[in-house]
């Protein structure tokens, strides 16, 4: 009763409306109530708008997992003798450096990334993607991220991964963590075979913001209703839009932006 009274008084005094103090307190209280499922249904939190966030979207690589799946996938296909080791490792390193520098050509990169898909069926590639997940990705899941996702999913809060990795490789991660939706690079299928090309929006950098905006328009939502968790400076486009931005294990560039904009900074292990 005392806690409820204090929260309502803070709300009436306009404390939560303050961009800096209100957001910080929302984050603190959210972390506390997340530990107790019953608090999600307490009327006070809804009356004062502390639980205004309804959708939780996450980047995947280096946010949920200590891994880059595009890189590990290429290591995987080399081990499976589906690709030449020398050329594959050289090109994988080349494109990864381009990504870090923000100069990646998505069409050229996806042509390389989807080579092993070309001519194969969805069933064949799904089986390989699951093997890749079990051997190279699952051991690198951040425990803190998995715990958060499972708690949110247990409370039936909508979760989505938004990743530049293709959806076939990302699907096992999404399923394991209880995500209801997955937005990723979409490989084209014709006559039940992958063509080796990409279809739709490439979900990296500004592409992630486009996906959020399109989703909100389609479902009559506001970006303020979303939380987003991301590790890369390239995530700043979507972090700028959402109501609850979280910089996860951020590098130097994203850390600087997050501090300047008073975004939450968290470290998953």
CATH code of residue 128: 3.40.50.1000
Which of 31, 52, 73 lies at the terminal end of a domain, its last residue?
52
Which of 36, 52, 68 lies at the terminal end of a domain, its last residue?
52
Q: What is the pLDDT of residue 32?
A: 55
Domain that holds residue 2: 1-52
Q: Is residue 95 within 8 Å of 89, Cβ to Cβ?
A: no
Both 7 and 31 in a single domain?
yes
Q: What is the pLDDT of residue 99?
A: 80
Both 73 and 34 in a single domain?
no
Both 199 and 108 in a single domain?
yes
Both 58 and 83 in a single domain?
yes
Report in angstroms the alpha-carbon separations of 105 from 38, 98, 111, 185, 202: 47, 8, 10, 14, 10
Both 44 and 67 in a single domain?
no
Q: What domain count does the chain have? A: 2
Both 196 and 252 in a single domain?
yes
Number of continuous H segments (helices) and E segments (strands) in the chain: 12, 7
Please report which residue ranges of the chain form alpha helices under DSSP H: 2-12, 19-33, 43-47, 69-79, 85-101, 106-113, 122-132, 143-154, 167-177, 206-219, 236-239, 252-261
Supply 118's token pair. 């070309």
Round the CA-based radius of gyration of the chain to a whole number and report it: 20
Q: What is the pLDDT of residue 12?
A: 54
Supply 166's token pair. 């293709």
Q: What is the DSSP letter of 156?
A: T
Both 88 and 197 in a single domain?
yes
Both 10 and 90 in a single domain?
no
Q: What is the pLDDT of residue 30?
A: 56
Is the dihedral angle over the CA atoms 207, 258, 161, 153 positive or is it negative?
A: negative
Cα gap 241→260, rounded to integer Å: 15
Q: How far is CA 200 from the centre of its chain?
A: 18
Strand 193-199 relative to strand 181-190, pairing? antiparallel
Both 48 and 63 in a single domain?
no
Q: What is the pLDDT of residue 1?
A: 44
Both 10 and 57 in a single domain?
no
Per-residue pLDDT of the chain (269 residues; tens, 9 = 90+): 445 445 545 555 555 545 455 555 555 555 555 555 444 434 444 444 455 789 999 999 999 999 999 999 999 999 999 999 999 989 988 988 888 787 888 889 999 999 999 999 999 999 999 999 999 999 999 999 999 999 999 988 999 999 999 999 999 999 999 999 999 999 999 999 999 999 988 999 999 999 999 999 999 999 999 999 999 999 999 999 999 999 999 999 999 999 999 999 999 99
Bridge partners, 160 (sequence order) = 57, 181
Q: What is the pLDDT of residue 18?
A: 53
Which of 18, 37, 52 lies at the terminal end of a domain, its last residue?
52
Q: What is the pLDDT of residue 37?
A: 41
CB neighbours of 184 closer than 8 A, spacing ≥ 6?
161, 162, 163, 164, 165, 166, 167, 170, 203
Both 33 and 163 in a single domain?
no
Cα gap 160→232, rounded to integer Å: 17
**Rounded to 5 degrees, what are φ and ψ at 175?**
-65, -40
CA angle 190, 193, 198 (to 5 degrees): 65
Both 82 and 40 in a single domain?
no
Cβ-based neighbour number of residue 146 at 10 Å:
17
């Amino acid at each position: 009763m005392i806690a409820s009274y204090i929260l309502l008084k803070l709300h009436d005094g306009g404390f939560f409306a303050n961009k800096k103090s209100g957001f910080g307190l929302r984050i603190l209280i959210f972390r506390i109530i997340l530990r107790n499922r019953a608090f999600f249904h307490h009327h006070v939190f809804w009356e004062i708008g502390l639980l205004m966030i309804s959708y939780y979207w996450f980047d995947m690589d280096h946010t949920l997992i200590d891994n880059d799946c595009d890189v590990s996938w290429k290591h995987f296909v080399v081990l499976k003798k589906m690709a030449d080791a020398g050329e594959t490792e050289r090109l994988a390193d080349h494109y990864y450096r381009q990504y870090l520098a923000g100069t990646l050509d998505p069409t050229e990169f996806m042509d390389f990334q989807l080579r092993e898909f070309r001519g194969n069926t969805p069933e064949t590639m799904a089986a390989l993607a699951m093997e890749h997940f079990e051997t190279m990705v699952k051991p690198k899941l951040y425990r803190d991220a998995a715990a958060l996702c499972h708690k949110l999913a247990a409370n039936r809060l909508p979760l989505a991964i938004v990743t530049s990795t293709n959806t076939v490789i990302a699907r096992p991660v999404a399923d394991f963590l209880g995500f209801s939706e997955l937005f990723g690079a979409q490989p084209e299928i014709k006559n039940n075979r992958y063509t080796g090309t990409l279809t739709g929006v490439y979900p990296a950098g500004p592409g992630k913001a486009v996906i959020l905006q399109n989703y909100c328009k389609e479902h009559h939502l506001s970006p303020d209703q979303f939380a987003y968790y991301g590790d890369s400076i390239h995530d700043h486009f979507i972090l700028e839009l959402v109501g609850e931005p979280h910089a996860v294990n951020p590098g130097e560039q994203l850390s600087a932006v997050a501090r300047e904009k008073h975004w939450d900074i968290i470290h998953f292990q």
